[in-house]
Amino acid sequence: DGGITQSPKYLFRKEGQNVTLSCEQNLNHDAMYWYRQDPGQGLRLIYYSQIVNDFQKGDIAEGYSVSREKKESFPLTVTSAQKNPTAFYLCASSRQGSLGKNIQYFGAGTRLSVL
Amino acid sequence: GESVGLHLPTLSVQEGDNSIINCAYSNSASDYFIWYKQESGKGPQFIIDIRSNMDKRQGQRVTVLLNKTVKHLSLQIAATQPGDSAVYFCAENIRGDKIIFGKGTRLHILP
């Protein structure tokens, strides 16, 4: 059963705590992404990685960190520096589609709340 | 269409009718556009895509139309079904793999 698996589905963070969201894919995709979605809003890019051991900041990287040690895995850490972490976090990976451009495919998301 | 703020624009359509969801994109240099469907509590699901050198592209029950003159994209869903109820996002590819998502339109199906 191929796809993108995000865990946990729900996560609670205490004040001053770092938390890590997991994203695993078995699609053999090179590129992976992390987005944040707030209620009634579109997706905003946090970080992306086009290849193992390399990643770039997106539009809202402050307060977040990532690693890409394996092709299959792209974990996101929400640090204590992120003052407003409550959101729905989406991980994606991409492959080239029939039009020659990369299509992003998404996991089911992790909903993070602050206690 | 797109909106600012917490309240998504909502389109209500009778079951069996056709739905047309509109999107205005921002960058005339965008060369690729995608429509995604997001059901409540789930991740976005790819529906259909189109390149800027195309005016129209059809899929199964869906058609995407692109008007570059006015920077407008639309998604047409034929014979709307209850399972089509979701938030629909358009997205534009400006450079490389970076995609900018719109804020979405909620499609509500009337019985």
Summary mean pLDDT of chain A: 94
With beta carbons less than 8 A apart as the criterion, state whether A102 and A94 touch: yes
How far away is chain A from the Cα of B15, in angstroms, using its nearest Cα?
A: 24
Q: Rounded distance, CA B71 to CA B86, Å?
A: 24
Query: Which pLDDT band, with edges at 50, 70 and 90, does A115 fall under?
Result: confident
Pairwise CB contact (< 8 Å): B50 & A94: no
For position B57, what pLDDT does the model report?
98
Name A22's bridge partners. Answer: A7
For position A2, what pLDDT does the model report?
63
Interface test with A, best of B52, B97, B100 (most A CBs within 10 A): B97
> Using one digit for the tens of pLDDT, what is the confidence trace for A76-88?
999 999 989 999 9
Q: Which of B45, B49, B103 is closest, CB to CB, to A99?
A: B49
> Using one digit for the tens of pLDDT, what is the confidence trace for B55-78?
999 999 999 999 999 999 999 999
Q: Which residue has the tokens 């992790």?
A: A110
CA proximity to A76, closest of A5, A15, A20, A3 = A20
With beta carbons less than 8 A apart as the criterion, state whether B64 and B48 touch: yes
Q: Which residue has the tokens 């997991």?
A: A22
Q: Which amino acid is at A24?
A: E
> Given CB atoms, is B98 within the 8 Å cutoff of chain A?
yes
> Using one digit for the tens of pLDDT, what is the confidence trace for A26-43?
999 999 999 999 987 889
